[in-house]
Amino acid sequence: MGTYEELQAELQERMPALAPGQRRIATVLLSDPEGTALRSIAETAKVAGVNQSSLVRFATMLGLKGYPALVRLCRDHLSGQANLVSRFERAQQRTGQESLFSAVLEHEKDNLTRSYARIGQADWDNAVRTLAEASSVYVMGLRKCAPIAQLLSYLLKLVRRQVEQISPAAGMFVDQLRDLDPEGAFVAVSIRRYTADTVRALEHAKERGLATIALTDDPASPLARLADTTFYLETEGVTILRSLSVFTSVAQTLATAVALHLGTRSRQELLVDEQLLADFHVYYED
């Protein structure tokens, strides 16, 4: 095992079978490689709630030479990305509205840069092709992620047919899952703390044979081990409130890419939509 990416794949595959203490260690390694790269074995053991010896055994189980080998993988990973360790200190030093605006702007730019840099071209092309060519597309996100699911559903409906938002709030959750088209695609959106219904729905979609795509926050997400394609998007905010700006951007970019992939088919859908909007006077006009 020579890279953090290989470690990530191994931990995601093993996660369901790990003992509770091992799962906590894996979660720390997946969700916070930057912190692990800078922590001592005692500090990481405290964060994971395990003994130091447990960390050593965990590394050995993975074929690594103790805790230093885990740290090396995380440091190599860290060196390959923009170093944003000081972003919270910079934000905390600012006061007043103008400073808050500047802090948010800088932070969101960093979030966007890091998130898009993580997206591999092959994964992106596969997701766009899947969303464009699947017989049906289902999108699900709950609680804070519900607006993202609604936005992605709305935008995809503009450029293709057979798009449905899965929502337990409608009282037809089981009925919607029962009617999933095995030739379709299922998009799940969730961030920590992950909503149980979203995880179960994605698992059901995968069992039914649908192509699965996840928009989530880090490799420790339960969505990551279920989805065929996963995009890890930054959610850290300047304050305790988590940011979904990157999720909004990716939803818009995905829908645009699907429209470009479909070409004239998308154009025809948009023309039909515009005519209906005009016929029903959907928008206010003086």
pLDDT in tens, 57-70: 999 998 888 889 98
**Residue 154: is its pLDDT beyond 70?**
yes
- CA–CA separation, 15 and 20 (whole Å): 10
Question: CB–CB of 45/51 below 8 Å?
Answer: yes
In this prediction, residues 12-31 reach a mean pLDDT of 89
**Token pair 């740290």: residue:** 71
**Residue 145: is its pLDDT beyond 50?**
yes
- pLDDT, residue 83, reads 43
Question: CB–CB of 180/152 below 8 Å?
Answer: no
| Of 44-48, 235-239, 278-282, minimum mean pLDDT range | 278-282
pLDDT in tens, 211-253: 999 999 988 888 998 999 999 998 887 766 788 999 999 999 9
Average per-residue pLDDT for the chain: 85
| Token pair recorded at residue 275 | 């005519």
- CA–CA separation, 139 and 201 (whole Å): 10
- pLDDT, residue 31, reads 83
- CA–CA separation, 60 and 1 (whole Å): 12
| Token pair recorded at residue 34 | 């930057």
- 286 pLDDT tier (thresholds 50, 70, 90): low
Q: Please give the helix or strand (H or E) that residue 248 lies within, else none.
A: helix 245-262
Q: What angle do CA 140, 114, 158 make, to 5 degrees?
A: 35
pLDDT in tens, 159-194: 899 999 998 876 678 888 888 999 999 999 999 888
Identify the burial level of 170 via C-beta atoms within 10 angstroms of its C-beta, where 0-12 means exposed, 13-18 middle and 19 or more buried: exposed
67, 56, 73: which is closest to 6 by C-alpha?
73
| Of 46-60, 92-106, 221-235, minimum mean pLDDT range | 92-106
